[in-house]
Structure 1
Amino acid sequence: MFASVRTYRFSPVYIQEINNKLQEMFIPLLEQMEGFVSYDWITTPDGQGVGVCIFRDEEGLRESLHLAAEFRKTHFNHVGMTTPEIIIGKVGAHGAVEPQTIPSQRENLDDHPTH
């Protein structure tokens, strides 16, 4: 397996929009690609994001990098997202469990009403 780690910076006011577009639009594109294993997106409150993508083969991974670059230009040009720093390599160790659905921020707010 091969992985890429892409680190970005962007305006923190767009975190939820970025999260939503990646979940609803980008990940489904990756899931259609041959050899796709997983994608995770991590954000910090100050506007940093890290995308971790794993494919069974290097060719699929490299194709995903082109897809990510086009997606960033098309959907995130207005958020001040930087060109990422990218690390690519062969996966040396891997572990996983059955993925759980990550609740949306709206669901989290509904679980904790403010009074």
Structure 2
Amino acid sequence: MFAVIRHYHFNPKDSAEIDRRIREDFVPIVKKAKGFVRYYWLDTGKGEGASFSVFFIGLWLHYARKAIV
């Protein structure tokens, strides 16, 4: 498994539009990615948000990490 956590800052007035775009535009795209497991979006309502993406990558990630280290 491979997970990515991201933190965002934005104008609180744009919160509803950002939520809509993530739900309607981004999530359908990321769901098509190889190994996709789950995507979570959290909007604090105060101009901050966080995303948590999970992918099942398989053995190639294990070997790539060994090659880098």
What is the TM-score normalised by the length of structure 1? 0.49
CA RMSD of aligned residues (A): 1.1
| Partner SS for 1:33 | coil
| Partner SS for 1:7 | strand
* 2:24 is the alignment partner of 1:2: no
Aligned counterpart, 2:50: 50
Shift of 1:45: 1.9
What is the TM-score normalised by the length of structure 2? 0.80
Greater share of residues in strand: 2
Number of equivalent positions: 58
Question: Identical aligned pairs, as a percentage?
Answer: 36
| Partner SS for 1:49 | strand
- Give, in whole Å, the separation in 2 of the partners of 1:48 and 1:34: 28
- Give, in whole Å, the separation in 2 of the partners of 1:46 and 1:22: 17
- Give, in whole Å, the separation in 2 of the partners of 1:45 and 1:25: 20
| Partner SS for 2:33 | coil
Off by >6 Å, runs of 4+ in structure 1: none
Shift of 1:57: 1.2
